Chain A
Amino acid sequence: MPRYNPFVPPLNPNVLNDEFTTDLSDWTLYNHGDNTVAQIVNNRLQLSQSNSDGELVGGIIKELPVGDFTIETYVSASMLYSDVSGHYAAFGMMVLENETDTGRFLSWDIVLPFSVAFPYLIADKYTAYNANNPGARVLETLIWRDINGLFMRMRREGTNYYGDISLKGAGWKQMWVTTIPYVATQMGLFIDFVDYVPTNYVEVPFFRYTDSSLSVNESIGGQRIN
């Protein structure tokens, strides 16, 4: 019996998609904190950070076409336990004003404490790679603790930006909508392990783009397979 599998790539993938099977030549390393490594490991994107002092967002980015869009990914973290309060891992996706260290960006991420405390979903408006704006936080909500990964996506429709999540990659829940005082021209995936010295990792099986804002009952990827 055919069954839907959200990890299966779309039949007609957009050229901006990446299933992370070969290399990262289509991407630019966003590494202003000089502590982020991006590589393909076991046919997945692996982002890692160590010696993180405060918030130092790093990742990979590529050009975002003008107009409406939807970008989807699945992100999962490999982490060491810490019982020190304030150690946490943020990882997810972002759209950026530009690629510079002072370029503003809108982030959409899971925040997992290194302890066993509950994780959060957070959407933030950053003013630089190392400076978010807590007063402009779009969303902060506790979520089910039994996750280390999640399907996430961002959308643009006109001047509005949206953030969705899904546990299974089919059936999306819109979590927020906001506007930003600039037009995002870059999109990407990021990691931010806060105040933690050992190396930790984020694993990403795919990044997918389409040039429209999908409804919450549509997905870019995933197919029914036999």
Chain B
Amino acid sequence: MSISPINPANSIAPLANGGGGNSGTPTPPDPADGSYFEPMASPSIQSALNDEFSGDVIDPMWTLFDPGEVSTYTIENTGLVAAVSTSTGNNLHGQIQPLPAGDFTVETYVGQGIVSKAANIYFFTGLGLFEDDTDESQAYTQCLVTGHNIEPSVMTHIWSDYNSSSNGGFTAFDEALTNIFLRIRRNGTTYYFDYSFDGIGWKQWLTVADLGFVPTFFGVAGCYGDGIGVTQTCLWSFFRYVDEDLGINAGIGGRRIGFYSE
């Protein structure tokens, strides 16, 4: 796992005793040290399955899922980016890794680079649970969806394979929405789907008792339905996992970090 430390050039120093979602009970920092709560900050203790997408190349723990061969994944200074320009129908793509058995919480922060909202075009960026790592895998995704004639939305989709999907849940937002925190939790056999605009408070908006399959892989997921030759991009700022259901009131990341004042 090649996760880089926070770039010293940014002069933001993580506190040795700063809190973190899965770091147990941290010792609170002294307010006099000049710290503040930063919801985007990485957890103090990183799971081996986490990725802050801060290296130069995609970590080898990820496996490209792209049966339709439509996407190009790179690490940019904004995170993991998937570019797609042409897609006939829906082509689910992603970067996946084995999902451990048991309860879990997985979080990401997504954005989209959108230049076209032509008829019948839909653009997905989010998280995916996959039956396996084959091209025929079933999948269940929760994505920020931007498209023709709909407001930006968080939607879930059930994929019988990479190019056949049906709608699950749907909740719409304002046209100005371009980024959102997304999270999936599993408790026993029940799956919970949350979103957040600030990474501090979360809304559990959907509960699914049965996905229709048992996922053994998970990761980031995207789709550019009926792409027409205009390159559009999915962005993931991080991928964070913890082996428990955190519930609605805790995040994996976010902690107090120190700073150097101007």
Contact = CB atoms under 8 A, between A and B. Distances in A.
Contacts of B19: 42-43
B70 interface: no
Interface stretch (A95-103, A195-203, A210-218): A195-203
A21 B197 contact: no
Majority secondary structure of chain B interface residues (helix, strand, loop or mixed): loop
Interface in B148-182: 171-174, 176-177
B210 interface: no
A43 B205 contact: no
Contact of A41 (B250, B255, B260): B250
Given A78-B202, A202-B201, A41 B28 contact: no
B255 A42 contact: yes
B172 A43 contact: no
A48 interface: yes
Interface string A119-150: 00000000000000000000000001111110
A5 B36 CA distance: 9
A36 interface: no
A224 B259 CA distance: 10
A152 interface: no
Interface string A144-177: 1111110000000000000000000000000000
A8 interface: yes
A225 B11 CA distance: 9
Contact of B204 (A79, A223, A224): A79
Contacts of A205: 36-37, 200
A34 to B, nearest CB: 21
A21 to B, nearest CB: 4
Please indicate which of the listed interface residues B172, B204, B205, B249 has the most CB atoms of chain A within 10 Å of its own CB. Answer: B249
B203 interface: yes
Interface string B225-262: 00000000000000000000000111100111001111
Given A5-B36, A201-B249, A225 B12 contact: yes
Contacts of B100: none
A61 B10 CA distance: 37
Nearest to B37: A205
B259 A8 contact: yes
B250 A42 contact: yes
Interface in A63-87: 74, 76-81
Interface of A: 2, 5, 7-9, 11, 13, 19, 21-22, 40-44, 46, 48, 74, 76-81, 116, 144-149, 200-203, 205-206, 223-226
For the complex of A and B, list the 7 residue pairs with the smallest distance between their C-beta atoms, beginning with the closest: A76-B201, A76-B200, A201-B249, A226-B11, A225-B259, A205-B37, A148-B201
